[in-house]
């Protein structure tokens, strides 16, 4: 069962994100296309990590596209978040816009460098 549904709102510390559609899933994560609630012209991707279910988010800047990733293992997402934060100075690295929690779920909002590779 999906962690998020179309039009779900993911509240962040700096801004909130709305789910547009599910992009895909793997054994450990789900990835969604997202949009900045304040600026619907900006697409976002999000990662969400959950303890028992799943959930993760990620976010970029206009006209950047965003992806929301939902991770089933919170510990893995925390490691991923720390690694991305440490590499933000690298030009080819996707931008980490937001990370946080929604109840028991952890999320990352990330830039999509190009569709097909989040």
| pLDDT one-digit tens code per residue, 25-82 | 887 788 888 888 776 555 555 555 544 444 444 444 444 568 888 877 788 888 999 9
pTM comes to 0.72
- Across the chain, mean pLDDT equals 75
Percent of all residues in the chain with a pLDDT value above 90, rounded to a whole number: 9
Q: State mean pLDDT over 78-97.
A: 90
| Choice between 4 and 72, residue whose per-residue pLDDT is larger | 4
Enumerate the H helices of 1-118 as residue ranges.
74-86
The closest alpha carbon to 54, from 115, 102, 110, belongs to: 102
Which pair of tokens denotes residue 67?
Answer: 């992806």
> Do residues 31 and 19 touch, judged by C-beta distance below 8 A?
no
Q: State mean pLDDT over 17-21.
A: 86
Residues 6 or more apart whose Cβ sits within 8 Å of residue 76: 28, 49
Q: State mean pLDDT over 9-13.
A: 80
CATH placement of domain 9-111: 3.30.200.20
Residues 6 or more apart whose Cβ sits within 8 Å of residue 1: none
Q: State the pLDDT at residue 116.
A: 52
CA distance 68 to 44: 7
pLDDT band at 87 (very low <50, low <70, confident <90, very high): very high
């Amino acid at each position: 069962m999906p962690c998020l549904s179309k039009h779900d709102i993911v509240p962040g510390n700096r801004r909130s994100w709305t789910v547009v559609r599910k992009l895909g899933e793997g054994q450990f994560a789900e990835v969604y296309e997202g949009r900045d609630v304040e600026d619907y012209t900006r697409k976002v991707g999000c990662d969400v990590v959950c303890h028992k279910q799943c959930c993760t988010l990620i976010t970029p800047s206009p006209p950047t596209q965003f992806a929301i990733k939902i991770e089933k293992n919170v510990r893995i997402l925390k490691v991923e978040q720390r690694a991305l934060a440490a590499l933000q100075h690298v030009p080819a690295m996707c931008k980490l816009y937001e990370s946080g929690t929604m109840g028991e779920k952890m999320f990352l909002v990330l830039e999509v460098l190009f569709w097909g590779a989040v």
